[in-house]
Every structure is written in structure tokens, then in C-alpha cells.
Amino acid sequence: MYDRTIRRRRLTLAALLACSLLLLTVYFGESTGGALHNVQRGVFSVFAPIQEGASTVLKPARDLFGWFGDTIDAKGRVAELESSNQSLRTRAIAGSEAIRINGQLEALLNLDKAGGLALAKPVTARVIGQSPTALYSTVTINQGSDTGIKTGNPVINGYGLIGQVSTVTAHAAIVTLISDGELAVPARISAGGAQGIAQTGAGGPDDLRLKFIARRYRVDPGAAVVTAGTLSTTPGLESLYPPGIPIGSVTRVVDPGTDAQKIYLRTYADLQKLELVQVLTSAVRGNRP
């Protein structure tokens, strides 16, 4: 009896292990239209409304715990903010230069005016889920293909670009955030016009970089980085991102003026606190500047 129990336990464990490995193999081997992917989309379609309902119901509890988290975070940042406040006050007194830069940033952040994004048929959506691990930088939104959302559509919030739609079902979609290393966005320095690729580096979600900037361009910390739009004149090579969407600002430059220069960015959007986003469902003039 005891031996039989042990044998049954081992057999079941082996079967489950084999099943997991088989699923992994099949999932990687098939195309995105394969059976397993279809089942996954089906389950996601069923799950998304439940997730949306739960997200709404649990919002007060989330806000309450979020408040505790924010309070702890805020206490930890008091010294940093005091120093920052002093610096900002000095800059404000300095006068016109700060006001001019501030005006430029405000103009950049005012997406509708600066980018004419109303023509890109934006669809407003609410974030209803977020991946629990740092390895998957995705959020789930409550709008899908029935409102015109397609895979590859850029996604923004009030501060700038946050990512791109990677999976769509009828009523929900998964957005891969710009903090995911798989995403590469054609970008340029707003002031100087230097063009490159914004992509998260090997250091993880906080390691967003602007790559492939020629050494002849001087890039200073604080410079605003925006999407470059379509640079190629060849048909079929249009960028997914309209030009002029703010991405972030340069935080530091390592080895400036060399071929190995590394330009680090910080996104304008706080990717850990996303609530309302807009999906740009249509490209205007092939996303050319």
C-alpha cells in the first residue's frame, strides 16, 4: 500500500513535469496563430472581464495599501526632495533660462497640441492588471480590437510614451512597456535633433538608454527625448510611433563625445503607476515628421 502510494506520487510528478516541458516546447514551436496561443487568447478573453471587475472592486483596498507604500516611499525621499527643492528654487530665481526650458517641457508634454495626436484616433483605456514579476514588463488594459486596437499600436499616458500593444483580444489587450528590453523605439533629442534608438539595457527596467547616437552630437543631462517617427523614405518601413511623443529626459552621459558614449534616460511617465492610458490606433501620414 505504502509502495503503491510512493509509486503513484512519483508517476504523477513525472507526468506533470513532462506536461510542463511539453507545453513549453509546443508554445515555443508554434506560430502566434497556433492552438496553444488560441487557447491562451480564449482564456484571456474570459479572464479579462473578471480581472476588470476585480480591479474596480479592489481599487479602494489597492489605494489604501498604495497610500501606505507611498507614505513610506515619501519619507525615504524627504532629503532628496529637499535638496531638489533647493536646486529648483535657485533655478527659478535665476529666471528666464529656467522659464524657457520649462516652457519647452510643458509644450512637449502637452501631447495634443505638440503632436496633433487627436488625428491618430486615440482610444482611452484603463489599466486593469499588471505582471507580478520584474521580468515581464506588461500591463493589461480594458480595451481591445472591438475599439480598433491592433498589435503594435503605440500607447501613451499624460506624460508621454509608455509602450506598445503586444497582444489583443476583443475586449482587452496586453501592453509591453518601454522598460521591456525587447522594445526598441526610434527616438531623437528634441533640441539637437540627434537620432537613435531608445531601448532598455541589460541593467533592467531602470536602465533605459538612447543608443546609436553619433559622437559628433553633444548630449547634455536634462535634454528631452521624443519619438523620431518614420525616418526611412522606403514604403513599408514606416515607424509604429508618431513623431514628437515625449519619451523621457537624459539623466547622465557616460564617455560623452566618443563612439562608446552611453546616454541614460528616465521616462517622463511613471511606469509603476499607470491608471489611464491612450492607444494610438491610426498612423497619420505614415508617422512622418
Smallest distance from other proteins to CB 193, Å: 29
Question: DSSP secondary structure string, the chain?
Answer: -HHHHHHHHHHHHHHHHHHHHHHHHHHHHS-TTSHHHHHHHHHHHHHHHHHHHHHHHTHHHHHHHHHHHHHHHHHHTHHHHHHHHHHHHHHHHH-HHHHHHHHHHHHHH-HHHHH-GGGG-EEEEEEEEE-SSTT--EEEES--GGGT--TT-EEEETTEEEEEEEEE-SS-EEEEETTSTT-EEEEEETTT--EEEEEE-TT-TT-EEEE---TTS---TT-EEEE------STT---SS-TT-EEEEEEEEESTTSTT-EEEEEESS-TTS--EEEEE---SGGG--
Q: How far is CA 21 from the centre of its chain?
A: 30
Determine, following the binding rule CB under 8 A, whether residue 181 of this chain makes contact with other proteins.
yes
**What residues numbered 6-25 form the site for other proteins, per CB under 8 A?**
6, 8-9, 12-13, 16-17, 19-25
Q: Out of 143, 153, 157, 167, which residue is the one contacting other proteins (CB under 8 A)?
A: 167
Smallest gap from Cβ 188 to other proteins, in A, equals 24
Q: In terms of CB distance, is 181 or 286 closer to other proteins?
A: 181
Q: Which one, 132 or 235, has the nearer CB to other proteins?
A: 132
Minimum distance between the CB of residue 25 and other proteins, rounded to whole angstroms? 8
Contact between 202 and other proteins per CB under 8 A: yes
Smaller CB separation from other proteins, 259 or 275: 275
CB of residue 56 to other proteins, shortest distance in Å: 9
- Residue 54 CB, shortest distance to other proteins, in Å, is 4
Note whether 126 binds other proteins by CB under 8 A. no
| Distance of alpha carbon 101 from the chain centroid | 25
- Residue 282 binding other proteins, by CB under 8 A: no
Binding mask 65-84 for other proteins (x = CB under 8 A): xx-xx--xx--x--------
User: Could you list the residues that contact other proteins (CB under 8 A)?
Assistant: 1-2, 5-6, 8-9, 12-13, 16-17, 19-25, 27-28, 36, 39-41, 43-44, 47, 50-51, 54-55, 58, 61-62, 65-66, 68-69, 72-73, 76, 127-136, 138, 140, 167, 174, 180-182, 200, 202-207, 272
